[in-house]
Amino acid sequence: AQSVTQPDIHITVSEGASLELRCNYSYGATPYLFWYVQSPGQGLQLLLKYFSGDTLVQGIKGFEAEFKRSQSSFNLRKPSVHWSDAAEYFCAVGFTGGGNKLTFGTGTQLKVEL
């Protein structure tokens, strides 16, 4: 069965600093990979997704993620964090034939210091 690990439960960065949130997955074939963000009182919003092709994926709000098959990773990055980026971030994996059934990680809570 597929699984997702987000090793960092909490991360604090200063506004303007760069950000990298880690995500590792376990799945036998090529997965479909997603990053979602949840702001307080909001639903899960899709930031970006990887299905195939270019391993560097651009998303909304200036985020990007890179799929590295050799490391089974799909880390989320942003070059300069804004205070409004404070939220919880979830990595998720789907698979061929799985429909829209996703397996999520436990999430990383991002705090931004002004």
Residues that bind other proteins (CB under 8 A): 4, 32, 36, 41-46, 49, 51, 90, 92, 94-96, 98-107
Handedness of CA 5, 91, 100, 49 (dihedral sign): negative
Give the nearer residue to other proteins in terms of CB position, either 22 or 32: 32
Token couple for 93: 């994996």
Cα(51)–Cα(67) distance, integer angstroms: 10
Q: How far is the CB of 44 from other proteins (least distance, A)?
A: 4
CB of 9 to other proteins, least distance (A): 9
> What are the C-alpha distances in Å from 59 to residues 3, 13, 22, 36, 45?
23, 20, 16, 10, 11
Nearer to other proteins, 15 or 64 (CB): 64
Q: Give the residue with the Cβ less far from other proteins, 3 or 84.
A: 3
Q: Which is nearer to other proteins, 64 or 95 (CB)?
A: 95
* Closest by CA position to 67, among listed 111, 35, 90, 103: 35
Cβ at position 83, least distance to other proteins in Å: 21
